[in-house]
C-alpha cells in the first residue's frame, strides 16, 4: 500500500481534480483505492458520495480521533474506491499533533493498493499529518509567479521541518500546446523558470496535464475520459501520472 498526498500552498492548482481522476484511473485498472478527503472544501467527498448524510458519522475528523481508520471508511458506487470524507470538524483539529495519521495508517491493514489524500491549500497541522503519512507528496503547479513562489516556499518548509522533502515532486497542470512555438509565452517562461531552479528543477515529474474543460466536466458530470477522441490527452496524462506513482503501467481504456 502506497500513500500519495496532493498538497500545494496555492489554491486552485488541481489537487482535487488530480485526486479524483487518479483514483478513478487506478480503480479502472483494478487497483483498490482509498481516498482521504482532508480539505474542508469537500471537493472529493462531494464527487464520490451521493448522500452527504453518510459523512455525518464517518468522516476524517472522527477517524483522526479514533484508533482505527477502517471504521470510518465509506464505499462509493465504484466498487474499487472507498473514501473517508471530509468534515467541518477538521477545523477543531488544526492544532493536533502531526504524526497521528501516519500512525493510524497501519490500521488499514494494507487493504488498498493506493491511498490518495486531498488537502487544503495551506500548511497547518492537518496538512502536515497528510504529508507525514505519505510515501509521495505531489504538488500540481500552474504556470505563474505565485505558483513558483509558493513552490519554493513549500520546498523550504518540507526540507527544514519534515522528513518528506525527498518524497516531494511537482507536475504542471494546465499545459496548452498552442503556446509551444512562442518562446515569449508565459507558459514557456515559467516552464524554464521551474526547470532551471536548482531545487524545483530536480522535482519536476515528466508529465503535464493539459488545460481542458474535460477536467471540470469529468468532476461535475461524471463524463468518462477515454484513450481515443476528445478526452485522449487528459486520459493519457492521468495514466502517465498514475503509472509513475504506482511504478507500473496503469492504462485502462476509459475511466
Ligand X SMILES: Nc1ncnc2c1ncn2[C@@H]1O[C@H](COP(=O)(O)OP(=O)(O)O)[C@@H](O)[C@H]1O
Name the residues that contact Mg ion, by CB under 5 A.
15-16, 43
- Binders of ligand X in range 31-60 (CB under 6 A): 43
Select 15 or 31, whichever has its Cβ closest to Mg ion.
Answer: 15
155's grid cell: 520546498
158's grid cell: 518540507
Residue entry with cell 483539529: 93
Task: Show Cβ contacts of residue 221 under 8 Å, excluding neighbours closer than 6 positions.
Answer: none
Residue entry with cell 527544514: 160
Q: How far apart are CA 24 and CA 35, in angstroms?
A: 10
- Binders of ligand X in range 189-248 (CB under 6 A): 209, 211-212, 215-216, 219
172 lies in the binding site for ligand X (CB under 6 A): no
Select 96 or 225, whichever has its Cβ closest to ligand X.
Answer: 225
Calculate helix-pair angle for 145-161, 186-196, nearest 10 degrees: 20
Select 87 or 212, whichever has its Cβ closest to ligand X.
Answer: 212
The least distance separating ligand X from the CB of residue 79, rounded to whole angstroms, comes to 24
137's grid cell: 507528496
The least distance separating ligand X from the CB of residue 67, rounded to whole angstroms, comes to 30
Among 3, 5, 14, 225, binds ligand X (CB under 6 A): 14
By C-alpha distance, which of 116, 106, 128 is closest to 48?
A: 116
Among 5, 16, 45, 82, binds ligand X (CB under 6 A): 16
Q: How far apart are CA 48 and CA 73, in angstroms?
A: 12
Each residue 59-88 as x (binds ligand X by CB under 6 A) or -, in order, gives ------------------------------
Backbone CA torsion sign across 236, 181, 173, 225? negative
Select 85 or 174, whichever has its Cβ closest to ligand X.
Answer: 174
From the list ligand X, Mg ion, none, partner contacted by residue 4 (C-beta under 5 to 8 A by kind) = none
Burial class (CB in 10 A: 0-12, 13-18, 19+), 79: exposed
Q: How many residues sit close enough to ligand X to count as binding (CB under 6 A)?
A: 16
Select 174 or 252, whichever has its Cβ closest to ligand X.
Answer: 174
The least distance separating ligand X from the CB of residue 25, rounded to whole angstroms, comes to 14
Amino acid at each position: 500500500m502506497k500513500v500519495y498526498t496532493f498538497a500545494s500552498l496555492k489554491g486552485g492548482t488541481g489537487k482535487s481534480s488530480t485526486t479524483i481522476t487518479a483514483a478513478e484511473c487506478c480503480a479502472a485498472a483494478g487497483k483498490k483505492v482509498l481516498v482521504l478527503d482532508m480539505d474542508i472544501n469537500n471537493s472529493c467527498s462531494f464527487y464520490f458520495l451521493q448522500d452527504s448524510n453518510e459523512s455525518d458519522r464517518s468522516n476524517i475528523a472522527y477517524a483522526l480521533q479514533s484508533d482505527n481508520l477502517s471504521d470510518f471508511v465509506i464505499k462509493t458506487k465504484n466498487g474499487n474506491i472507498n473514501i473517508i470524507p471530509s468534515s467541518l470538524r477538521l477545523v477543531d483539529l488544526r492544532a493536533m499533533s502531526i504524526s497521528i495519521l501516519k500512525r493510524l495508517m497501519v490500521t488499514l491493514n494494507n487493504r488498498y493498493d493506493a491511498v490518495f489524500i486531498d488537502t487544503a491549500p495551506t500548511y497547518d497541522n492537518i496538512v502536515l499529518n497528510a504529508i507525514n503519512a505519505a510515501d509521495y507528496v505531489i504538488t500540481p503547479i500552474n504556470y505563474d509567479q505565485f505558483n513558483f513562489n509558493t513552490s519554493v516556499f513549500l520546498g523550504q518548509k518540507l526540507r527544514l521541518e519534515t522528513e518528506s522533502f525527498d518524497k516531494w515532486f511537482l507536475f504542471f497542470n494546465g499545459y496548452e500546446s498552442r503556446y509551444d512555438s512562442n518562446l515569449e509565452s508565459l507558459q514557456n517562461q515559467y516552464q524554464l523558470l521551474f526547470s532551471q531552479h536548482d531545487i524545483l528543477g530536480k522535482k519536476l515529474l515528466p508529465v503535464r496535464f493539459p488545460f481542458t474543460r474535460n477536467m471540470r466536466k469529468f468532476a461535475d458530470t461524471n463524463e468518462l475520459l477515454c484513450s481515443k477522441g476528445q478526452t485522449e490527452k487528459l486520459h493519457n496524462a492521468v495514466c502517465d501520472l498514475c503509472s509513475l506513482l504506482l511504478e507500473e503501467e496503469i492504462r485502462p481504456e476509459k475511466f
